């Protein structure tokens, strides 16, 4: 009833958004039903323990649950378990009611506890939202031990790396009271531990599954950038909530130079202009991972894996555009509208379309940039880099049609391309030898030419040897 009421309200106030959501609900079909009987061998839905894990996924993830379920084959179950393990680890790290002397050994041994039959954790505070996951963590353990070795090894390795990073930060917070990230390098390292490592693990799992190229697991810098783009976007958007809960993730290097002593001063002092300059500095820092994320998406060949990676980064770009130069972000948690999210989900199906999404939001950011902002020039350059990436990989004057490429006649580059085509045709007419070699020359025709050439050379060599033996005087 509540959903129907909200849709009716949307129809009256935002009819175009209503149309988008209606189109999404009617025509955007899920690609996979994990409850179907034919999916049981890979989804594990026929086991009570795995069904409970799928329920935990729905309870703990608002954004990733749907795309995880649509992954091909056993990837869906594997990534579900991967997510639940890291969510359990994060729940212990975030719980401020657990004393540090209790938290440290649990965090640093979490990768071992995750495969210890029957282990669960009952000491979370009553207000911890995901405490039920740890209360029944023995169910997760049971399913983790069923994973194929190639997946289980990757997940436990990433868990061990992440738990040590989290334990270090948790110990600093307990020892010093409040932990500020001082430099952008500290900020990058923190985001690497909590998100970059997630990207590394996913990339290694894609390769181990055989659904992506084996070399993909070596592209860890690009995978790290994907994770950092998502994590930094969340940190920017959740500013007010994090500050009120005394979690200070914005690096002092970015905000302290504008005269603020504490992060809460950005909304308490009323200096909106300088606060938005800091905000633009944070968005600038996040945008430096955009082109790497597009490079990563270009390497993916499995459609379900591509959509899993593309939808979050598309929404991250939309969120950065929403937050940029937006003073409301300092007062409350802001989010992109549901219709916009639905449109991004429907569009994020191929690299070209995602690149266009990045370009659209980069243009919106650049349009909102203000010349008196100290970051104005750097923001402009960063937005231009995204434009350059799109133009280099997907030239805008080439339009993909059903019968092949169509060239935009209004674009000057089309005239250049046509002139080059005309010159090539004239050279061919003047001398047919200028014709390019057929594209399908290799392997059979080219191999025939090579073998024929080798036979001629061998024959000539044999003839020369015969002549020398026949007619030259013997020693």
- The 10s digit of each residue's pLDDT in 394-415 is 887 777 766 777 777 777 777 8
pLDDT in tens, 82-129: 999 999 999 998 888 888 899 999 999 999 999 999 999 998 888 888
Indicate the range of 110-124, 166-180, 340-354 predicted with least confidence: 166-180
- Return the structure tokens found at 375: 């970051």
Distances (CA, A) of 77 to 178, 309, 373: 38, 16, 47
- Name the pLDDT band for 456 (thresholds 50, 70, 90): confident
Q: Per mean pLDDT, which range of 16-25, 39-48, 117-126 is the poorest?
A: 16-25
> From CA 204, how far away is CA 197, in angstroms rounded?
11
Neighbours of 419 (CB within 10 A): 10
Tokens found for residue 347: 């569009």
Q: In the predicted model, is pLDDT for residue 474 greater than 60?
A: no
Mean pLDDT of 431-445: 60
Q: What is the pLDDT of residue 169?
A: 85
Q: Which is catalytic among the residues 47, 108, 247, 413?
A: 247
Give residue 33's region: left, alpha or beta (phi > 0; psi -120 to 50).
Answer: beta
pLDDT at 416 over 70: yes
- With contact defined as beta carbons under 8 Å apart, do 275 and 267 qualify? yes
Mean predicted confidence (pLDDT) in 444-465? 78
Could you tell me the pLDDT band of residue 475, with boundaries at 50, 70 and 90? very low
Instruction: Look up 215 and say whether it is catalytic.
Output: no
User: What is the sign of the dihedral through the CA atoms of 359, 364, 367 and 372?
Assistant: negative
CA separation for the pair 142, 93 (Å, rounded): 22
pLDDT at res. 14: 63
Q: Mean pLDDT throughout 158-162? A: 94
Per the CB < 8 A criterion, the answer to whether 312 and 230 are in contact is yes
Backbone angles phi, psi at 219, to 5 degrees: -90, 55
Give percent of the chain above pLDDT 90: 53
Structure confidence at residue 32 as a pLDDT band (50, 70, 90): confident
- Which residues partner with 400 through β-bridges? 405
In tens, the pLDDT along 205-225 reads 999 999 999 999 899 999 999
Concerning whether 376 is annotated as a catalytic residue, the answer is no
What is the pLDDT averaged over residues 420-438? 74
Q: State mean pLDDT over 140-164.
A: 94
Cβ(103)–Cβ(71) below 8 Å: no
Would you say the pTM of this structure is higher than 0.85? no
What pLDDT score was predicted for residue 398? 75
**Mean pLDDT throughout 221-233?**
95
pLDDT at position 4 over 80: no
pLDDT for the residue numbered 65: 85
> What is the reported pLDDT for 450?
75
The answer to whether the beta carbons of residues 147 and 155 sit under 8 Å apart is yes
Contact 407, 417 (CB under 8 A): yes
Given this model, what pLDDT does residue 63 score? 72
pLDDT mean across residues, the chain: 87
Q: Which member of 308, 358, 361, 397 is catalytic?
A: 308
Distance CA 262, CA 243 (A): 10
Tell me the β-bridge partners of 406. 399
Question: Does the active-site annotation cover 237?
Answer: yes
User: In this structure, what token pair is assigned to residue 156?
Assistant: 């436990």
At residue 435, does pLDDT exceed 70? no
Residue pair 302/212 in contact (Cβ under 8 Å)? The answer is: yes
Q: Active-site residue 190, yes or no?
A: yes
Quote the pLDDT of residue 467: 76
Burial of 1 (0-12, 13-18, 19+ CB in 10 A): exposed
Q: Is the predicted pLDDT of residue 284 greater than 90, yes or no?
A: yes
pLDDT in tens, 289-333: 999 999 999 999 999 999 999 999 999 999 999 999 999 999 888
The catalytically annotated residue of 204, 237, 274, 359 is 237
Which residue of the set 110, 151, 190, 361 is catalytic? 190
CA 253 remoteness from chain centre: 26
Q: What percent of the chain has pLDDT over 70?
A: 89
Mean pLDDT, residues 328-355: 90
Q: Is 10's pLDDT higher than 80?
A: no
Residue 454 has pLDDT above 50, yes or no: yes
- The pLDDT tens digits of the residues spanning 67-82 come to 899 899 999 999 999 9
Q: How far apart are CA 198 and CA 195, in angstroms?
A: 5
SS (H, E, C) the chain: CHHHHHHHHHHHHCHHHHHHHHHHHHHCCCCCCCCCHHHHHHHCCCCHHHHHHHHHHHHHCCCCHHHHHCCCCCHHHHHHHHHHHHHHHHHHHHCCCCCHHHHHHHHHCHHHHCCCCCCCCCCCCCCCCCHHHHHCHHHHHHHHCCCCHHHHHHHHHHHHHHHHHHHHHHHHHHHHCCCECCCHHHHHHHHHHHHHHHHHHHHHHHHHHCCCCHHHHHCHHHHHHHHHHHHHHHHHHCHHHHHHCCCECCCHHHHHHHCCCCCCHHHHCCCHHHHHHHHHHHHHHHHCCHHHHHHHHHCCCCHHHHHHHHHHHHHHHHHHHHHCCCHHHHCCCCCCCHHHHHHHHHHCCCHHHHHHHHHHHHHHHHHHCCCCCCCHHHHHHHHHHHHHHHHHHCCCCEEEECCEEEECCCCHHHHHHHHHHHHHHHHHHHCHHHCCCCCCCCCHHHHHHHHHHHHHHHHHHHHHHHHHHHHCCCC
Please report which confidence band the pLDDT of residue 429 belongs to, taking 50, 70 and 90 as the band edges.
confident
């Amino acid at each position: 009833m509540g959903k129907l009421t909200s849709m009716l309200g949307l129809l009256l106030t935002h009819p175009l958004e209503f149309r988008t959501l209606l189109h999404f609900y009617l025509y955007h079909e899920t690609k996979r039903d994990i409850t179907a009987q034919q999916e049981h061998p890979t989804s594990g839905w026929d086991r009570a323990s795995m069904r409970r894990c799928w329920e935990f996924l729905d309870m703990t993830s608002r954004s990733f649950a749907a795309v995880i379920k649509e992954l091909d084959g056993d990837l869906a179950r594997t990534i579900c378990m991967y997510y639940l393990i890291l969510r359990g680890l994060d729940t212990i790290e975030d719980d401020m009611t657990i004393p540090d002397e209790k938290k440290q050994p649990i965090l640093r041994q979490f990768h071992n506890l995750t495969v210890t039959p029957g282990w669960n954790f009952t000491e979370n505070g009553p207000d911890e939202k995901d405490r039920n996951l740890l209360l029944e963590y023995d169910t997760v353990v049971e399913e983790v031990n069923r994973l194929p070795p190639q997946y289980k090894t990757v997940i436990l390795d990433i868990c061990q790396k992440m738990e040590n990073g989290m334990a270090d930060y948790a110990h600093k917070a307990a020892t010093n009271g409040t932990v500020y990230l001082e430099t952008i390098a500290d900020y990058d390292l923190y985001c690497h531990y909590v998100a970059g490592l997630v990207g590394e693990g996913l990339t290694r799992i894609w390769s181990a599954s055989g659904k992506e190229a084996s070399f993909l697991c070596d592209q860890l810098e690009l995978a790290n950038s994907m994770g950092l783009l998502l994590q930094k976007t969340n940190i920017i958007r959740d500013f007010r909530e994090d500050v009120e809960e005394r979690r200070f993730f914005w690096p002092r290097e970015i905000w302290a130079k504008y005269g603020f002593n504490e992060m809460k001063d950005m909304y308490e002092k009323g200096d909106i202009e300088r606060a938005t300059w800091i905000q633009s500095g944070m968005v600038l820092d996040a945008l430096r991972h955009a082109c790497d994320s597009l490079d990563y998406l270009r390497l993916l060949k499995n459609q379900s894996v591509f959509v899993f990676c593309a939808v979050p980064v598309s929404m991250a770009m939309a969120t950065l555009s929403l937050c940029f130069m937006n003073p409301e972000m300092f007062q409350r948690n802001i989010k992109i509208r549901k219709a916009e999210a639905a449109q991004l989900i429907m569009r994020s199906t191929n690299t070209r379309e995602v690149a266009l999404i990045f370009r659209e939001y980069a243009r919106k950011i650049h349009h909102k940039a203000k010349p008196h902002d100290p970051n104005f020039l750097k923001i402009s350059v960063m937005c231009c880099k995204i434009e350059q990436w799109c133009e280099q990989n997907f030239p805008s004057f080439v339009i993909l049609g059903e019968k092949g490429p169509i060239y935009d006649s209004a674009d000057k580059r089309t005239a250049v391309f046509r002139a080059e085509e005309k010159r090539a045709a004239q050279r061919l007419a003047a001398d047919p030898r200028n014709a390019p070699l057929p594209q399908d020359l290799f392997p059979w025709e080219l191999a025939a030419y090579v073998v024929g050439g080798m036979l001629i050379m061998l024959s000539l060599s044999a003839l020369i040897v015969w002549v020398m033996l026949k007619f030259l005087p013997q020693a």
